[in-house]
């Protein structure tokens, strides 16, 4: 939820309010390392994971050394898309 609305609704309202077309909005959002496509399908967690990984990459590049990159999915406590976990049977 962003401002009490689903990401897709928020983005659509912002576009309408600012009179910006979808292509221009997507380009603007991308400058903040945000995948607008994920927001448009309400994949907020996926957007956060993608952005966190991109920010860690920028940090490593700026430092010109590895950052010891944590698993951002683990940090946020979410599963990556397509992950399969074995469930222990009691």
CB 70 within 8 A of CB 52: no
67: Cβ–Cβ under 8 A, 6 or more apart, which residues? 56, 59, 60
What average pLDDT does range 79-83 have in this prediction? Answer: 63
pLDDT in tens, 14-29: 999 999 999 999 999 9
Tell me, what's the pLDDT at 89? 42
25 CB neighbour count, 10 Å cutoff: 18
Q: Is 82 helix (H, G, I), strand (E, B) or coil?
A: coil
Is residue 81 scored above 70 in pLDDT?
no
Within a domain: 1: no
Q: What is the mean pLDDT of the chain?
A: 83
Mean pLDDT to the nearest integer, 81-89: 49
pLDDT greater than 70 at residue 77: yes
The residue range of the domain holding 67 is 7-76
Query: Quick check: is 61 in a domain?
Result: yes
Q: Is 11 domain-assigned? A: yes
State the pLDDT at residue 5. 86
Q: Higher confidence at residue 18 or residue 78?
A: 18
What is the phi/psi pair of residue 12, to 5°? -60, -45
Asked if residues 40 and 11 have their Cβ atoms less than 8 Å apart, the reply is yes
User: Is residue 66, in this structure, part of any structural domain at all?
Assistant: yes
- The 10s digit of each residue's pLDDT in 34-44 is 999 999 999 98
């Amino acid at each position: 939820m962003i401002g009490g609305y689903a990401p897709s609704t928020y983005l659509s309202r912002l576009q309408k309010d600012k009179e910006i077309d979808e292509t221009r909005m997507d380009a603007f959002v991308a400058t903040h390392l945000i995948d607008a496509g994920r927001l448009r399908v309400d994949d907020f967690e996926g957007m956060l994971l993608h952005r966190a990984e991109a920010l860690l990459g920028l940090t490593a590049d700026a430092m010109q050394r590895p950052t010891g990159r944590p698993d951002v999915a683990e940090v946020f406590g979410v599963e990556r898309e397509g992950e399969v976990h074995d469930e222990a049977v009691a």
